[in-house]
Amino acid sequence: MSTKSVFSTMLNSLVPISQLNQGKASKIIDSLGPDDIKIIVKNNEPMAAIVPISRFSQLIEAEESLKEK
């Protein structure tokens, strides 16, 4: 993936918290693809992430696998 593509993907993943406050949470969640992650930004700082449950399950499994080592 090119640097421009990575940068574009990162920018597209940022969601201002004001959008959640304006009732757009459902739209944001519906827009998630299976590997997408949305980063919630408050006062220009990342505060939280929204991930599809399938991706969240993968992250939990990876964490458990690392703990076993």
The pLDDT of residue 7 = 77
What kind and span of H or E run contains 48? strand 45-50
pTM value?
0.76
Paired tokens of 9: 């993907």
More confident residue, 2 or 68: 68
| Per-residue pLDDT tens over the stretch 4-42 | 777 777 888 999 999 999 999 999 999 898 888 999 999
Percentage of the chain modeled with pLDDT above 70: 99
The letter for the amino acid at 35 is D
The pLDDT of residue 34 = 86
4-20 exposure pattern, b = at least 16 Cβ within 10 A, e = fewer = eeeeeeeeeeebeeeeb
The pLDDT of residue 1 = 66
Contact 55, 35 (CB under 8 A): yes
